[in-house]
Structure 1
Amino acid sequence: MKENRDIEVLIVEDDLRIAEIQKRFLDLIDGFQAVGIAASYVEAKTLIEILQPDLILLDVYFPDMNGLELLKETKFHTKQIDVIMITAAKEIEKVQSAIRLGVFDYIIKPVIFDRFKQSLQRYKDYHEELLKLSKENSQVSQLEVDKLLWKENDSANNERAYLPKGIDPLTLEKVIEVLGKVKTGLTAETVAKEVGVSRTTARRYLEHLVSIEKIEADLSYGTVGRPERVYILVDNMIKKLAE
Protein backbone atom coordinates (compact mmCIF):
# COMPACT_ATOMS: atom_id res chain seq x y z
CA MET A 1 0.00 0.00 0.00
CA LYS A 2 1.43 3.37 -1.03
CA GLU A 3 2.08 5.83 1.79
CA ASN A 4 2.26 9.57 2.39
CA ARG A 5 0.59 10.84 -0.77
CA ASP A 6 -2.82 11.61 -2.19
CA ILE A 7 -5.19 8.75 -2.98
CA GLU A 8 -4.91 8.12 -6.73
CA VAL A 9 -8.22 7.87 -8.58
CA LEU A 10 -8.96 6.59 -12.09
CA ILE A 11 -12.24 7.78 -13.61
CA VAL A 12 -13.84 5.24 -15.97
CA GLU A 13 -16.69 7.06 -17.75
CA ASP A 14 -17.52 7.21 -21.46
CA ASP A 15 -19.29 10.60 -21.20
CA LEU A 16 -16.30 12.94 -21.05
CA ARG A 17 -18.45 15.80 -19.78
CA ILE A 18 -19.48 13.76 -16.74
CA ALA A 19 -15.91 12.53 -16.32
CA GLU A 20 -14.69 16.12 -16.19
CA ILE A 21 -17.33 16.97 -13.56
CA GLN A 22 -16.11 14.07 -11.43
CA LYS A 23 -12.51 15.27 -11.83
CA ARG A 24 -13.51 18.77 -10.70
CA PHE A 25 -15.37 17.27 -7.73
CA LEU A 26 -12.19 15.37 -6.78
CA ASP A 27 -10.15 18.58 -7.00
CA LEU A 28 -12.40 20.08 -4.32
CA ILE A 29 -11.74 17.26 -1.84
CA ASP A 30 -8.41 17.15 0.01
CA GLY A 31 -6.36 14.00 -0.25
CA PHE A 32 -7.35 12.84 -3.74
CA GLN A 33 -5.74 13.08 -7.17
CA ALA A 34 -7.35 12.11 -10.48
CA VAL A 35 -4.60 10.26 -12.38
CA GLY A 36 -6.53 9.45 -15.53
CA ILE A 37 -9.81 9.19 -17.43
CA ALA A 38 -10.80 6.11 -19.44
CA ALA A 39 -13.75 6.13 -21.83
CA SER A 40 -13.63 2.54 -23.08
CA TYR A 41 -12.77 -1.00 -22.03
CA VAL A 42 -9.34 -0.95 -23.70
CA GLU A 43 -8.44 2.40 -22.15
CA ALA A 44 -9.66 1.27 -18.72
CA LYS A 45 -7.69 -2.01 -18.79
CA THR A 46 -4.55 -0.23 -20.00
CA LEU A 47 -4.68 2.56 -17.41
CA ILE A 48 -5.49 0.17 -14.58
CA GLU A 49 -2.43 -1.93 -15.45
CA ILE A 50 -0.12 1.07 -15.90
CA LEU A 51 -1.31 3.40 -13.13
CA GLN A 52 -2.40 0.87 -10.48
CA PRO A 53 -4.72 3.45 -8.84
CA ASP A 54 -6.03 3.12 -5.31
CA LEU A 55 -9.61 3.79 -6.36
CA ILE A 56 -11.70 3.58 -9.53
CA LEU A 57 -14.87 5.60 -10.15
CA LEU A 58 -16.74 3.27 -12.50
CA ASP A 59 -19.88 3.54 -14.64
CA VAL A 60 -21.95 0.49 -15.67
CA TYR A 61 -23.02 1.40 -19.21
CA PHE A 62 -20.40 1.59 -21.99
CA PRO A 63 -20.73 1.07 -25.76
CA ASP A 64 -18.11 -1.71 -25.67
CA MET A 65 -18.49 -3.22 -22.21
CA ASN A 66 -20.49 -3.69 -19.03
CA GLY A 67 -18.84 -1.93 -16.11
CA LEU A 68 -19.76 -4.80 -13.82
CA GLU A 69 -17.64 -7.15 -15.95
CA LEU A 70 -14.70 -4.77 -15.64
CA LEU A 71 -15.34 -4.63 -11.89
CA LYS A 72 -15.24 -8.43 -11.74
CA GLU A 73 -11.99 -8.58 -13.72
CA THR A 74 -10.39 -5.85 -11.65
CA LYS A 75 -11.29 -7.48 -8.34
CA PHE A 76 -9.99 -10.83 -9.60
CA HIS A 77 -6.63 -9.58 -10.86
CA THR A 78 -5.88 -6.55 -8.64
CA LYS A 79 -7.54 -7.05 -5.27
CA GLN A 80 -5.95 -3.94 -3.71
CA ILE A 81 -7.81 -1.56 -6.04
CA ASP A 82 -11.15 -0.35 -4.67
CA VAL A 83 -14.17 0.69 -6.74
CA ILE A 84 -17.02 3.15 -6.30
CA MET A 85 -19.79 2.71 -8.87
CA ILE A 86 -21.18 5.98 -10.25
CA THR A 87 -23.96 5.09 -12.66
CA ALA A 88 -27.53 5.60 -13.85
CA ALA A 89 -28.19 1.88 -13.41
CA LYS A 90 -30.98 1.53 -10.85
CA GLU A 91 -31.90 -2.12 -11.44
CA ILE A 92 -31.75 -4.04 -8.18
CA GLU A 93 -29.87 -6.95 -9.79
CA LYS A 94 -27.10 -4.59 -10.89
CA VAL A 95 -26.86 -3.03 -7.44
CA GLN A 96 -26.81 -6.50 -5.90
CA SER A 97 -24.11 -7.69 -8.30
CA ALA A 98 -21.95 -4.66 -7.56
CA ILE A 99 -22.27 -5.20 -3.80
CA ARG A 100 -21.42 -8.90 -4.14
CA LEU A 101 -18.36 -8.02 -6.20
CA GLY A 102 -17.13 -5.77 -3.40
CA VAL A 103 -17.76 -2.15 -4.38
CA PHE A 104 -17.02 0.38 -1.68
CA ASP A 105 -20.08 2.45 -2.59
CA TYR A 106 -22.80 2.76 -5.24
CA ILE A 107 -23.85 6.27 -6.31
CA ILE A 108 -26.76 6.81 -8.69
CA LYS A 109 -26.58 9.60 -11.28
CA PRO A 110 -27.10 12.49 -11.44
CA VAL A 111 -24.34 12.91 -8.86
CA ILE A 112 -24.82 15.47 -6.12
CA PHE A 113 -21.55 16.88 -4.82
CA ASP A 114 -22.44 16.42 -1.14
CA ARG A 115 -23.16 12.71 -1.70
CA PHE A 116 -19.98 12.37 -3.76
CA LYS A 117 -17.90 14.09 -1.09
CA GLN A 118 -19.42 11.96 1.68
CA SER A 119 -18.47 8.78 -0.17
CA LEU A 120 -14.93 9.92 -0.90
CA GLN A 121 -14.41 11.10 2.66
CA ARG A 122 -15.52 7.74 4.01
CA TYR A 123 -13.16 6.05 1.61
CA LYS A 124 -10.29 8.29 2.74
CA ASP A 125 -10.98 7.40 6.39
CA TYR A 126 -11.10 3.71 5.47
CA HIS A 127 -7.89 3.94 3.44
CA GLU A 128 -6.03 5.73 6.25
CA GLU A 129 -7.26 3.26 8.88
CA LEU A 130 -6.19 0.32 6.72
CA LEU A 131 -2.77 1.89 6.17
CA LYS A 132 -2.38 2.52 9.88
CA LEU A 133 -3.29 -1.07 10.79
CA SER A 134 -0.99 -2.55 8.14
CA LYS A 135 1.93 -0.55 9.56
CA GLU A 136 1.26 -1.36 13.21
CA ASN A 137 0.14 -4.99 13.17
CA SER A 138 0.17 -8.19 11.17
CA GLN A 139 -3.16 -9.13 12.78
CA VAL A 140 -6.28 -7.17 13.75
CA SER A 141 -8.91 -7.38 16.47
CA GLN A 142 -12.63 -7.95 15.89
CA LEU A 143 -13.39 -4.28 16.63
CA GLU A 144 -10.81 -3.13 14.08
CA VAL A 145 -12.33 -5.39 11.45
CA ASP A 146 -15.81 -4.07 12.32
CA LYS A 147 -14.62 -0.47 11.90
CA LEU A 148 -13.31 -1.26 8.42
CA LEU A 149 -16.42 -3.13 7.33
CA TRP A 150 -18.89 -0.61 8.73
CA LYS A 151 -16.90 2.29 7.25
CA GLU A 152 -17.80 4.59 10.13
CA ASN A 153 -15.78 7.77 10.66
CA ASP A 154 -16.39 7.95 14.37
CA SER A 155 -15.19 5.02 16.46
CA ALA A 156 -17.83 5.59 19.15
CA ASN A 157 -20.59 5.49 16.54
CA ASN A 158 -19.01 2.36 15.08
CA GLU A 159 -19.11 0.55 18.40
CA ARG A 160 -22.75 1.56 18.92
CA ALA A 161 -23.71 0.41 15.42
CA TYR A 162 -22.29 -3.07 15.96
CA LEU A 163 -23.51 -3.77 19.48
CA PRO A 164 -24.89 -7.30 19.85
CA LYS A 165 -28.42 -8.01 21.05
CA GLY A 166 -28.87 -7.33 24.77
CA ILE A 167 -26.15 -4.66 24.98
CA ASP A 168 -27.46 -1.13 25.54
CA PRO A 169 -24.98 1.64 24.60
CA LEU A 170 -25.79 3.82 27.63
CA THR A 171 -25.36 0.95 30.09
CA LEU A 172 -22.16 -0.02 28.32
CA GLU A 173 -20.82 3.51 28.78
CA LYS A 174 -21.65 3.34 32.51
CA VAL A 175 -19.77 0.05 32.85
CA ILE A 176 -16.71 1.54 31.14
CA GLU A 177 -16.96 4.65 33.33
CA VAL A 178 -17.04 2.55 36.51
CA LEU A 179 -14.03 0.50 35.40
CA GLY A 180 -12.16 3.67 34.50
CA LYS A 181 -12.19 4.85 38.11
CA VAL A 182 -10.19 1.88 39.44
CA LYS A 183 -6.74 0.86 38.20
CA THR A 184 -6.73 -2.49 40.01
CA GLY A 185 -9.83 -3.86 38.32
CA LEU A 186 -13.30 -4.85 39.56
CA THR A 187 -15.39 -8.01 39.84
CA ALA A 188 -18.74 -8.41 38.09
CA GLU A 189 -20.48 -8.13 41.45
CA THR A 190 -18.85 -4.77 42.23
CA VAL A 191 -19.61 -3.43 38.77
CA ALA A 192 -23.24 -4.58 39.12
CA LYS A 193 -23.66 -2.62 42.36
CA GLU A 194 -22.06 0.53 40.94
CA VAL A 195 -24.10 0.50 37.72
CA GLY A 196 -27.34 -0.69 39.33
CA VAL A 197 -27.87 -3.92 37.39
CA SER A 198 -27.84 -7.61 38.24
CA ARG A 199 -24.57 -9.54 38.43
CA THR A 200 -25.59 -11.58 35.38
CA THR A 201 -26.22 -8.43 33.36
CA ALA A 202 -22.94 -6.88 34.48
CA ARG A 203 -21.06 -10.03 33.48
CA ARG A 204 -22.69 -9.95 30.02
CA TYR A 205 -21.47 -6.39 29.44
CA LEU A 206 -18.03 -7.15 30.83
CA GLU A 207 -17.56 -10.22 28.66
CA HIS A 208 -18.63 -8.20 25.61
CA LEU A 209 -15.92 -5.65 26.42
CA VAL A 210 -13.40 -8.47 26.76
CA SER A 211 -14.41 -9.83 23.35
CA ILE A 212 -13.68 -6.48 21.65
CA GLU A 213 -10.43 -6.09 23.62
CA LYS A 214 -11.57 -2.97 25.46
CA ILE A 215 -10.87 -4.61 28.81
CA GLU A 216 -8.95 -7.61 30.08
CA ALA A 217 -9.97 -10.23 32.62
CA ASP A 218 -7.85 -12.08 35.16
CA LEU A 219 -8.50 -14.42 38.06
CA SER A 220 -8.30 -13.11 41.63
CA TYR A 221 -7.59 -15.73 44.31
CA GLY A 222 -9.05 -14.70 47.65
CA THR A 223 -8.45 -16.34 51.03
CA VAL A 224 -11.81 -18.09 50.98
CA GLY A 225 -13.95 -19.54 48.20
CA ARG A 226 -13.50 -19.87 44.45
CA PRO A 227 -11.38 -17.42 42.41
CA GLU A 228 -13.26 -14.55 40.76
CA ARG A 229 -12.75 -12.88 37.40
CA VAL A 230 -11.48 -9.33 37.77
CA TYR A 231 -11.94 -6.88 34.91
CA ILE A 232 -9.66 -3.95 34.13
CA LEU A 233 -9.64 -1.38 31.33
CA VAL A 234 -6.76 -1.92 28.91
CA ASP A 235 -5.80 1.76 29.22
CA ASN A 236 -5.67 1.48 33.00
CA MET A 237 -3.57 -1.66 32.78
CA ILE A 238 -1.04 0.14 30.59
CA LYS A 239 -0.91 3.05 33.05
CA LYS A 240 -0.46 0.67 35.96
CA LEU A 241 2.45 -1.11 34.29
CA ALA A 242 4.08 2.23 33.51
CA GLU A 243 4.04 3.33 37.16
Structure 2
Amino acid sequence: MIRTLVVDDDFRVGQIHANYVRRVEGFEVVGRAATVAEALATVRALRPDLLLLDVFLPDGSGLDVLRQLSQDQGEARPDALMITADHDMSSVRAAMKLGAVGYLVKPFGSADLTERLTGYRRLHDRVDALSRTTAADQSDVDALFSAARPPAVPRSPAKGHSAHTLTAIQRAVHTAGTALSAAETAERTGVSRATAQRYLSYLVKEGSVRLELRYGTTGRPEHRYRIAR
Protein backbone atom coordinates (compact mmCIF):
# COMPACT_ATOMS: atom_id res chain seq x y z
CA MET A 1 0.00 0.00 0.00
CA ILE A 2 1.16 3.54 -0.79
CA ARG A 3 0.90 5.39 2.52
CA THR A 4 -0.48 8.88 1.89
CA LEU A 5 -0.58 12.04 4.02
CA VAL A 6 -3.14 14.71 3.04
CA VAL A 7 -2.01 18.28 3.79
CA ASP A 8 -4.73 20.94 3.43
CA ASP A 9 -5.74 23.79 5.72
CA ASP A 10 -9.46 23.42 4.90
CA PHE A 11 -10.77 20.55 7.02
CA ARG A 12 -13.72 19.82 4.75
CA VAL A 13 -11.65 19.86 1.55
CA GLY A 14 -8.98 17.72 3.17
CA GLN A 15 -11.63 15.17 4.16
CA ILE A 16 -12.95 15.06 0.59
CA HIS A 17 -9.46 14.48 -0.79
CA ALA A 18 -8.78 11.80 1.80
CA ASN A 19 -11.98 10.04 0.76
CA TYR A 20 -10.92 10.23 -2.89
CA VAL A 21 -7.59 8.58 -2.01
CA ARG A 22 -9.25 5.77 -0.05
CA ARG A 23 -11.24 4.76 -3.13
CA VAL A 24 -8.10 4.19 -5.24
CA GLU A 25 -6.68 0.68 -5.15
CA GLY A 26 -3.25 0.45 -3.60
CA PHE A 27 -3.48 3.60 -1.45
CA GLU A 28 -4.20 4.26 2.21
CA VAL A 29 -4.49 7.53 4.12
CA VAL A 30 -2.22 7.44 7.16
CA GLY A 31 -2.88 10.96 8.39
CA ARG A 32 -3.86 14.56 7.76
CA ALA A 33 -2.21 17.90 8.47
CA ALA A 34 -3.31 21.52 8.15
CA THR A 35 -0.12 23.56 8.58
CA VAL A 36 3.54 23.50 7.56
CA ALA A 37 4.61 22.66 11.12
CA GLU A 38 2.05 19.90 11.45
CA ALA A 39 2.96 18.45 8.05
CA LEU A 40 6.67 18.32 8.93
CA ALA A 41 5.99 16.72 12.32
CA THR A 42 3.60 14.16 10.84
CA VAL A 43 6.01 13.19 8.06
CA ARG A 44 8.75 12.61 10.60
CA ALA A 45 6.43 10.54 12.79
CA LEU A 46 4.59 8.47 10.17
CA ARG A 47 7.06 8.29 7.24
CA PRO A 48 4.44 8.37 4.45
CA ASP A 49 5.30 7.49 0.86
CA LEU A 50 3.28 10.30 -0.73
CA LEU A 51 2.03 13.75 0.24
CA LEU A 52 -1.08 15.35 -1.23
CA LEU A 53 0.22 18.83 -0.56
CA ASP A 54 -1.58 22.18 -0.73
CA VAL A 55 0.50 25.28 -1.49
CA PHE A 56 -1.48 27.76 0.60
CA LEU A 57 -1.09 26.95 4.30
CA PRO A 58 -1.68 29.23 7.33
CA ASP A 59 1.95 29.32 8.45
CA GLY A 60 3.68 29.22 5.08
CA SER A 61 3.65 27.30 1.83
CA GLY A 62 3.55 23.66 0.87
CA LEU A 63 6.69 24.46 -1.12
CA ASP A 64 8.34 25.25 2.23
CA VAL A 65 7.42 21.74 3.35
CA LEU A 66 9.25 20.28 0.35
CA ARG A 67 12.30 22.49 0.91
CA GLN A 68 12.57 21.57 4.58
CA LEU A 69 12.06 17.85 3.96
CA SER A 70 14.72 17.91 1.22
CA GLN A 71 17.17 19.36 3.73
CA ASP A 72 16.15 16.99 6.53
CA GLN A 73 15.63 13.74 4.68
CA GLY A 74 17.27 14.08 1.25
CA GLU A 75 16.59 11.03 -0.89
CA ALA A 76 14.33 9.56 1.81
CA ARG A 77 11.84 12.42 1.47
CA PRO A 78 8.32 11.32 0.52
CA ASP A 79 7.06 12.14 -2.96
CA ALA A 80 4.57 14.98 -3.30
CA LEU A 81 1.58 15.61 -5.53
CA MET A 82 0.62 19.28 -5.30
CA ILE A 83 -3.16 19.88 -4.99
CA THR A 84 -3.81 23.59 -4.91
CA ALA A 85 -5.73 26.60 -6.18
CA ASP A 86 -2.38 28.29 -6.87
CA HIS A 87 -1.91 28.29 -10.65
CA ASP A 88 0.86 30.89 -10.72
CA MET A 89 3.67 29.68 -12.98
CA SER A 90 6.33 30.59 -10.40
CA SER A 91 4.75 28.09 -8.00
CA VAL A 92 4.52 25.45 -10.73
CA ARG A 93 8.20 25.93 -11.62
CA ALA A 94 9.22 25.82 -7.96
CA ALA A 95 7.27 22.60 -7.42
CA MET A 96 8.99 21.03 -10.43
CA LYS A 97 12.44 22.07 -9.20
CA LEU A 98 11.64 20.64 -5.76
CA GLY A 99 10.74 17.27 -7.29
CA ALA A 100 6.95 17.21 -7.07
CA VAL A 101 5.55 14.30 -9.07
CA GLY A 102 2.48 16.25 -10.21
CA TYR A 103 0.50 19.48 -9.89
CA LEU A 104 -3.30 19.37 -9.81
CA VAL A 105 -5.17 22.68 -9.77
CA LYS A 106 -8.33 23.01 -7.65
CA PRO A 107 -11.17 22.50 -8.10
CA PHE A 108 -10.90 18.96 -9.45
CA GLY A 109 -12.99 15.83 -9.28
CA SER A 110 -12.42 12.32 -8.06
CA ALA A 111 -11.61 11.09 -11.59
CA ASP A 112 -8.81 13.66 -12.00
CA LEU A 113 -7.13 12.68 -8.74
CA THR A 114 -7.66 8.97 -9.42
CA GLU A 115 -5.90 9.38 -12.75
CA ARG A 116 -2.88 11.03 -11.12
CA LEU A 117 -2.73 8.50 -8.31
CA THR A 118 -3.00 5.58 -10.71
CA GLY A 119 -0.14 7.03 -12.73
CA TYR A 120 1.90 7.50 -9.57
CA ARG A 121 1.24 3.91 -8.50
CA ARG A 122 2.42 2.74 -11.91
CA LEU A 123 5.59 4.82 -11.50
CA HIS A 124 6.08 3.53 -7.95
CA ASP A 125 5.77 -0.08 -9.12
CA ARG A 126 8.18 0.43 -12.03
CA VAL A 127 10.79 2.06 -9.81
CA ASP A 128 10.43 -0.78 -7.32
CA ALA A 129 10.88 -3.39 -10.06
CA LEU A 130 13.86 -1.64 -11.65
CA SER A 131 15.56 -1.12 -8.29
CA ARG A 132 16.35 -4.83 -8.35
CA THR A 133 18.43 -4.43 -11.55
CA THR A 134 21.83 -2.82 -11.98
CA ALA A 135 21.02 -0.85 -15.16
CA ALA A 136 18.03 0.33 -17.15
CA ASP A 137 17.74 0.49 -20.94
CA GLN A 138 16.17 3.43 -22.80
CA SER A 139 12.70 1.86 -22.89
CA ASP A 140 12.81 1.50 -19.09
CA VAL A 141 13.82 5.13 -18.70
CA ASP A 142 11.10 6.33 -21.09
CA ALA A 143 8.49 4.28 -19.22
CA LEU A 144 9.55 5.77 -15.88
CA PHE A 145 9.33 9.35 -17.11
CA SER A 146 5.92 8.83 -18.74
CA ALA A 147 4.31 6.60 -16.12
CA ALA A 148 2.81 9.33 -13.95
CA ARG A 149 1.52 11.47 -16.80
CA PRO A 150 -2.19 11.51 -17.55
CA PRO A 151 -3.13 10.55 -21.10
CA ALA A 152 -3.29 13.25 -23.75
CA VAL A 153 -6.71 13.51 -25.39
CA PRO A 154 -6.99 14.96 -28.92
CA ARG A 155 -8.06 18.58 -28.46
CA SER A 156 -10.57 18.57 -31.34
CA PRO A 157 -12.34 15.21 -31.65
CA ALA A 158 -13.36 14.24 -35.16
CA LYS A 159 -16.90 14.91 -36.27
CA GLY A 160 -19.30 12.45 -34.66
CA HIS A 161 -17.10 11.91 -31.60
CA SER A 162 -18.02 13.21 -28.15
CA ALA A 163 -15.15 14.73 -26.16
CA HIS A 164 -16.68 13.32 -22.95
CA THR A 165 -16.88 9.78 -24.36
CA LEU A 166 -13.41 10.08 -25.87
CA THR A 167 -11.97 11.06 -22.50
CA ALA A 168 -13.79 8.21 -20.75
CA ILE A 169 -12.55 5.64 -23.29
CA GLN A 170 -8.96 6.80 -23.05
CA ARG A 171 -9.05 6.99 -19.26
CA ALA A 172 -10.33 3.40 -19.13
CA VAL A 173 -7.44 2.19 -21.28
CA HIS A 174 -4.91 4.32 -19.41
CA THR A 175 -5.89 3.11 -15.93
CA ALA A 176 -6.45 -0.56 -16.80
CA GLY A 177 -2.86 -1.67 -16.29
CA THR A 178 -3.28 -4.22 -19.09
CA ALA A 179 -4.51 -4.32 -22.67
CA LEU A 180 -8.32 -4.17 -23.00
CA SER A 181 -10.66 -5.52 -25.64
CA ALA A 182 -13.44 -3.35 -27.04
CA ALA A 183 -15.95 -5.34 -24.98
CA GLU A 184 -14.00 -4.78 -21.75
CA THR A 185 -13.65 -1.07 -22.54
CA ALA A 186 -17.39 -0.85 -23.16
CA GLU A 187 -18.10 -2.50 -19.80
CA ARG A 188 -15.82 -0.04 -17.97
CA THR A 189 -17.30 3.05 -19.60
CA GLY A 190 -20.97 2.12 -19.99
CA VAL A 191 -21.07 2.55 -23.77
CA SER A 192 -21.92 -0.10 -26.35
CA ARG A 193 -19.22 -2.40 -27.74
CA ALA A 194 -19.64 -0.83 -31.20
CA THR A 195 -19.15 2.66 -29.76
CA ALA A 196 -16.08 1.57 -27.80
CA GLN A 197 -14.65 -0.04 -30.93
CA ARG A 198 -15.21 3.14 -32.97
CA TYR A 199 -13.54 5.38 -30.40
CA LEU A 200 -10.65 2.97 -29.87
CA SER A 201 -10.00 2.87 -33.61
CA TYR A 202 -9.96 6.67 -33.65
CA LEU A 203 -7.49 6.81 -30.74
CA VAL A 204 -5.24 4.31 -32.53
CA LYS A 205 -5.19 6.60 -35.59
CA GLU A 206 -4.39 9.56 -33.32
CA GLY A 207 -1.47 7.61 -31.86
CA SER A 208 -2.54 7.80 -28.21
CA VAL A 209 -3.65 4.15 -28.03
CA ARG A 210 -1.80 1.14 -29.40
CA LEU A 211 -3.46 -1.87 -31.03
CA GLU A 212 -2.18 -5.32 -30.10
CA LEU A 213 -3.19 -8.59 -31.73
CA ARG A 214 -3.58 -11.61 -29.47
CA TYR A 215 -3.48 -14.88 -31.38
CA GLY A 216 -5.33 -17.94 -30.13
CA THR A 217 -5.19 -21.50 -31.39
CA THR A 218 -7.87 -20.95 -34.03
CA GLY A 219 -9.80 -18.14 -35.68
CA ARG A 220 -9.02 -14.47 -36.10
CA PRO A 221 -6.67 -12.69 -33.64
CA GLU A 222 -8.30 -10.73 -30.84
CA HIS A 223 -7.84 -6.96 -30.96
CA ARG A 224 -6.70 -5.46 -27.68
CA TYR A 225 -5.75 -1.89 -26.80
CA ARG A 226 -3.32 -0.28 -24.41
CA ILE A 227 -2.08 3.28 -23.87
CA ALA A 228 0.71 4.27 -26.25
CA ARG A 229 4.08 5.27 -24.80
Give the TM-score taking structure 2 as reference length.
0.62
Alignment of 1:104-183 (within 5 A): 104-135=101-132, 137-151=133-147
* Structure 2 match to 1:12: 7
Counterpart of 1:60 (choices 52, 55, 59) is 55
Q: Distance in 1 between matches of 2:45 and 2:137?
A: 35
Deviation at 1:99, TM superposition (A): 1.2
Match of 1:100 in 2: 97
Q: Give the SS at the match of 1:10.
A: strand
User: Quick check: which has more Rg, 1 or 2?
Assistant: 1
TM normalised by structure 1 equals: 0.58
CA RMSD of aligned residues (A): 2.2
- What letter is aligned with 1:37? R
Match of 1:23 in 2: 18
Q: Percent identity?
A: 33
Report the Cα distance in structure 2 between the residues aligned to 1:140 and 1:76, rounded to whole angstroms: 28
1:43 and 2:38 are equivalent in the alignment:
yes
Residue 222 of structure 2: aligned partner? none
What residue identity is the alignment partner of 1:134? Answer: S
Partner of 1:111, secondary structure, is coil
Query: Does 2:90 correspond to 1:82?
Result: no
Q: Structure 1 residue 123: deviation in Å?
A: 0.3
Q: 2:7, 2:32 within 8 Å by CA — same for their partners in 1?
A: yes
String of CA shifts for 1:18-37, please: whole Å, max 9, x gaps: 11001110111110000000
Among residues 63, 68, 79, which one is paired with 1:73 in the alignment? 68
Q: Give unmatched runs, 5+ long, in structure 1.
A: 1-5, 157-169, 171-243
Distance 1:76 1:122 in 2: 27
